[in-house]
Amino acid sequence: MLQRPGYKKFIFSFLLILCLFLSVTPVMADSAWNLALDGRILGGVPVRDNGRMTMVSIGVMGRLLQLKLEHKDDTLLIFYKNNKLQLVNKATAVWLDVQLVPMASAPVFEGGNWWLDSRSAIKILQALYQAAGSAASLSWAGDAVEASSLNKNVKNPEKKQDEAEAAILPASIPVVPSSTPASLVSSGGMRPCELKALRWGRYDDKIRAVFDYQGETEPQSSQTGQNVSIAFTEGSLSKTETLSPFPTDVLIETASSEGKYIITLSSIKGGELKVFTLPNPARLVVDIYNPKNEVLPAPVAVSNLKPAPKPVAEQASEPKEPVFVPAKVVPRKSAPLVVIDAGHGGKDPGAVANGYREKDLNLQYARQLAECVKKRGFRVRLTRDTDVYLKLGERTDLANKWEADMFISIHANALPKGRHANGTEIYIMALPTDKDAMELALIENRELTGDNGSESSAQVDKKTKMLLNILGNMQQNAKISDSTEVAEHLFKSGQKQKINMRRVAQAPFFVLRGATMPAVLIETGFLTERSEAKKLATPSFQKQFAEAIAQGVETYFNGR
């Protein structure tokens, strides 16, 4: 009898705990964050925690923003006006039109949703708006939808993300580097000034860093010797953003101190530094004039040089600035060297169809093209001029060793029985345009390891996935934009010469991976189409084709 009150209390406690458990668990799984556009809440976006970061449904974000979405196989396309984002399942970078944007994590397609970490999701959608000329501002706002008061994580979404990233990012550790001026660290409170983005550009005479910000006041800045420090009250750089795109000229250090986030551009090599702010949109600009390793050699004949990208004037009336790092143009004394690579060879015949072997045709095209390119005053070398087998990596190793200015790998396409297509395709190494491009890359990425045996398809898949991740590396950007330009020149020239040009596309080709110069892969045509195979083998067509491609090489280098 005496036990009764205790027993009741136990039951009551048990039920209370059960209720709490039941009320909390579904909220954790189905909770949502509010998405705001220019401070106006649009609605809730499903979130889930993967233990490291908070993942959000980017498809739902797109729908709330009334963007056009297209889901194809491994790819999600998001459109706004004339611009396009392309996400690939498990790839840590997205395409914004032709520009590659690295992310903190890879999107994952699961349970009918595309999940991406909350910061990257805002970053890439914001970039899409910016590309379309819109100043719209996206953010996570206010209290979470359906959030229980017990679920503190959902109450304060950004904080959780900060903590998660702080755990893995050394850049967030609040250690004040020696280069941080005392005036910025200790000058007490500062009116709100939020860092929104850091962008870089290289011009003829300078490197420019642009800090976009928002707030009541300009960021505080301070210059000591060859260091410039800028303080913000909010916002921070992601891990990739703390890597300088020009590490030999300038480094980036970050520190948090007394409620300020301080970015220091340090170890600046070069002459004069200029720091100034501009309105609409608010930004602080740091110009580093004549970085030392960009001092150009004595003037040389420039007839065979690509013109350097023209700087865009930093004016209030011209808010659009280059958002990518323009490629370096280093003058050389001799004519540009084009390395031409005939795909496959020796024990590896490549595609075989309609009585033709790809390796033979590739070599014929490579020789023809070499002749036509040479005739136009360029230097040319072939990776193979006989029927020998070269590994994929050896081909670009040669191009790198010879310090080539362009790498062209020549192949012929093939389709499985029952599928038909024709025409020439030009590929650059990047995230795949579509499933066909991806499948082609998987076929071309096959490498013969033994005398007879080829690599297992699992190995090839693994290698290709690895390539997708490498593409997330920012250092690739300049090369990709150059390679795209080469591809477009070759494509247009082919069209002019009445070659049946099918498309310029992207796929992670292993043979292009190691190239340190602009590199393209040409699929001359489809061997599996009888009439096309016959045409591809005709010497007169080969000559016409080679002339067209050589013309494209010339317009690329000479800008004509």
The rounded distance, in Å, linking the Cα atoms of 543 and 364 is 10
Give the interface segment with Zn ion, choosing from 13-21, 186-194, 234-242, 404-412 (CB under 5 A). Answer: 404-412
Does residue 47 sit in helix, strand or coil?
A: strand
The rounded distance, in Å, linking the Cα atoms of 198 and 7 is 63
Please identify, using beta-carbon distances, which residue of 380 and 410 lies nearer to Zn ion. 410
Site for Zn ion (CB under 5 A): which residue of 350, 432, 472, 525? 350
Please identify, using beta-carbon distances, which residue of 85 and 361 lies nearer to Zn ion. 361
- Cα–Cα–Cα angle for 532, 537, 539, rounded to 5 degrees: 125
Give the interface segment with Zn ion, choosing from 83-91, 154-162, 202-210, 339-347 (CB under 5 A). Answer: 339-347
Give the interface segment with Zn ion, choosing from 58-66, 189-197, 340-348, 371-379 (CB under 5 A). Answer: 340-348
The rounded distance, in Å, linking the Cα atoms of 542 and 545 is 5
For the bound state, the minimum distance from the C-beta of residue 449 to Zn ion, rounded and expressed in Å, comes to 17
- Count the helix, strand and coil residues of the chain and give each as a percent rounded to the nearest 5: 35, 30, 35
Measured at CB, which residue is nearest to Zn ion? 411
Give the interface segment with Zn ion, choosing from 171-179, 215-223, 301-309, 407-415 (CB under 5 A). Answer: 407-415
Please identify, using beta-carbon distances, which residue of 208 and 359 lies nearer to Zn ion. 359
Structure tokens at 116: 């991406």
Please identify, using beta-carbon distances, which residue of 384 and 411 lies nearer to Zn ion. 411
Please identify, using beta-carbon distances, which residue of 266 and 506 lies nearer to Zn ion. 506
The rounded distance, in Å, linking the Cα atoms of 177 and 166 is 17
For the bound state, the minimum distance from the C-beta of residue 535 to Zn ion, rounded and expressed in Å, comes to 18
List binders of Zn ion among 426-445 (CB under 5 A): 444
What is the pattern of x (binds Zn ion, CB under 5 A) and - over residues 469-508?
----------------------------------------
Q: State the Cα torsion 241-243-248-254 to the nearest 10°.
A: 90
For the bound state, the minimum distance from the C-beta of residue 414 to Zn ion, rounded and expressed in Å, comes to 8
For the bound state, the minimum distance from the C-beta of residue 407 to Zn ion, rounded and expressed in Å, comes to 15
Residue with tokens 């005398």: 451
Please identify, using beta-carbon distances, which residue of 50 and 449 lies nearer to Zn ion. 449
Give the interface segment with Zn ion, choosing from 2-10, 348-356, 479-487, 490-498 (CB under 5 A). Answer: 348-356
Does 281 sit behind a cis peptide bond, omega within 30 degrees of 0 on the bond before it?
yes
For the bound state, the minimum distance from the C-beta of residue 96 to Zn ion, rounded and expressed in Å, comes to 30
The answer to whether 411 touches 521, Cβ cutoff 8 Å, is: yes
Residue with tokens 């590739």: 362
Structure tokens at 499: 């070659």
Give the interface segment with Zn ion, choosing from 191-199, 329-337, 349-357, 476-484 (CB under 5 A). Answer: 349-357
For the bound state, the minimum distance from the C-beta of residue 441 to Zn ion, rounded and expressed in Å, comes to 10
Please identify, using beta-carbon distances, which residue of 87 and 392 lies nearer to Zn ion. 392
Q: Does 219 bind Zn ion (CB under 5 A)?
A: no
**CA 219 vs CA 171, 190, 467: distances in Å:** 20, 9, 39
87 burial type by CB count under 10 A (0-12 exposed, 13-18 middle, 19+ buried): buried
Please identify, using beta-carbon distances, which residue of 119 and 411 lies nearer to Zn ion. 411
Please identify, using beta-carbon distances, which residue of 350 and 472 lies nearer to Zn ion. 350
Please identify, using beta-carbon distances, which residue of 247 and 346 lies nearer to Zn ion. 346
How many residues bind to Zn ion according to rule CB under 5 A? 4
Site for Zn ion (CB under 5 A): which residue of 123, 160, 411, 446? 411
Nearest to 370 by CA among 513, 549, 179, 151: 549
Please identify, using beta-carbon distances, which residue of 94 and 438 lies nearer to Zn ion. 438
For the bound state, the minimum distance from the C-beta of residue 344 to Zn ion, rounded and expressed in Å, comes to 6
Please identify, using beta-carbon distances, which residue of 308 and 443 lies nearer to Zn ion. 443
Please identify, using beta-carbon distances, which residue of 33 and 526 lies nearer to Zn ion. 526
For the bound state, the minimum distance from the C-beta of residue 299 to Zn ion, rounded and expressed in Å, comes to 42
Question: Can you say how many angstroms the Cα of residue 202 is from the centroid of all Cα atoms in its chain?
Answer: 18
For the bound state, the minimum distance from the C-beta of residue 451 to Zn ion, rounded and expressed in Å, comes to 20
The sign of the torsion formed by the CA atoms of 226, 231, 232, 236 equals: positive
For the bound state, the minimum distance from the C-beta of residue 391 to Zn ion, rounded and expressed in Å, comes to 14
Site for Zn ion (CB under 5 A): which residue of 46, 322, 326, 343? 343
For the bound state, the minimum distance from the C-beta of residue 530 to Zn ion, rounded and expressed in Å, comes to 19
For the bound state, the minimum distance from the C-beta of residue 503 to Zn ion, rounded and expressed in Å, comes to 17
For the bound state, the minimum distance from the C-beta of residue 411 to Zn ion, rounded and expressed in Å, comes to 3
The answer to whether 101 touches 124, Cβ cutoff 8 Å, is: yes
Phi, psi for residue 68 in degrees, rounded to 5: -80, 130
Instruction: DSSP for 343-394, please give it.
Output: -SBTTB---EETTEEHHHHHHHHHHHHHHHHHHTT-EEEES-SSS----HHH
Contacts of 40-45 spanning 24+ positions with Cβ under 8 A: 41/141, 41/142, 43/145, 44/144, 44/145, 44/146
How many other C-beta atoms can be found within 10 angstroms of the C-beta atom of residue 340? 29
> Contact positions toward Zn ion, by CB under 5 A?
343, 350, 411, 444
